Chain A
Amino acid sequence: MKYRAEITTQLKEGMLDPEGDTIQRALMHLGYDVSGVHTAKKLLIELEADSADDATKMLDEMCQKLLANPVIHNYSIKIQ
C-alpha cells in the first residue's frame, strides 16, 4: 500500500526558539498583539508499507534516526 505521511518536528516546550521570537517581535512592530510564535518544520513523505501501523513504525524510526533530534525536538506523525 502507498501511504502519505505528514511529519512535524518542533522544538520542545521551553526550548529557546530565536526564529519564532524574532518573527513575534516583527509582528508586534506591525501592530499585532501576538503573545507567542513557535516555528516547526513539516515534511511530507510518501512511502510503501504493508499497513498503516507498519508505515507509522517506519516513520517513527526515521524520526529517531534522522528527521528529528530527540535531544531538542518533539515530533508528530500523521498518516493519510
Chain B
Amino acid sequence: MKFAIIRFGGSNCDLDVYHILSDVLGVPTDLVWYKDSIDRYDGVVIPGGFSYGDYLRAGSIAASTRIMESVKGLADDGKPVIGICNGFQILVESGLLPGALRTNVYPKFCCKWADLRVENTDTAFTSKFRKGEVVRMPIAHKEGNFFADDATLSDLNSHHQVVFRYVDRGGDVVPAANPNGSVENIAGIVNESGNVLGMMPHPERASEPILGSADGRKVFESMIEYALQG
C-alpha cells in the first residue's frame, strides 16, 4: 500500500501531511508533482496551500490540470481521496464534490482552532471516530464559506454526506461557532460513496499531542484502514 500527496505550484501543507503519514503513522508515501502519474497509488491526498496564487478562484487552476482526471479515475475505482483546505477547494472546482467555497463572510484570512462534530462515521476517513464526537482541528483559510443550493443541500443531508460541522464546545451547531459563514455550519463533505472527502480544517496540523490536538490523526488512520481493506 502506498499513498500519493499531490504537489501543485503553491501547495504548502504537503510536507506536514507527509510527516504524519510517513513519520508518525509509518505508511509508505510519495510526494508527487502534478505532472507525474498517480495511477499506481492506493490513496491520494490533495494538501492545502495557495495553488497558483489562488488566481481566478481558489483551486480553479489546479482543478483544470490533467492529474485531476487521474484523481477522478482513482475515486471511481473506490480509492480514498482527501482534499484538505485548498485541496477541498480543488475538489469542488473539479466537480468531484458538489457545492462551492466562497470568500468568508468576514472577508479575511481566518486562522484558529475549530470544534467539529463528526456527523457520519461510515466513510473512508471517519471510521475511527464516534458518531457525534466533538473534535478539535485548526482552520486557516479565506475562502472556506461552503455553499450549495437548496436541492444539493437536501441531497447532501439525505445521503449523510456532511461529515464535519462547526460546533461550540458542547457540540451544538450555533451561528457563533461558524467561522466563515458556511451553510448549515458545514466544514467537510464526502461524495455519495464516501471515498472522497473534502474538508477545510487541517487534520495534519492536529495529529500529534505536541500540536495541541491529536484528533486529526484518526482521519488518516481511518484512511489507512480503508485502503488496507481495499
Contact = CB atoms under 8 A, between A and B. Distances in A.
Interface of A: 11, 15-16, 18-19, 22, 65-67, 69, 71-72
A29 B66 CA distance: 47
B103 interface: yes
A72 B93 CA distance: 11
**Chain B interface helix/strand/loop/mixed:** loop
Contacts of B10: none
A69 B93 contact: yes
Interface residues of B, number: 20
Interface of B: 56-57, 60-61, 64, 92-93, 99-100, 102-107, 145, 147-149, 181
16 contacts: A15-B102, A16-B105, A18-B103, A18-B105, A18-B106, A18-B107, A18-B181, A22-B107, A65-B64, A66-B56, A67-B56, A69-B57, A71-B99, A71-B147, A71-B149, A72-B102
A18 B147 CA distance: 14
B63 to A, nearest CB: 8
Contact of A16 (B92, B99, B149, B181): B181
A71 B89 CA distance: 13
Given A15-B102, A66-B61, 9 more contacts: A16-B145, A18-B103, A18-B106, A18-B181, A69-B93, A71-B99, A71-B148, A72-B100, A72-B147
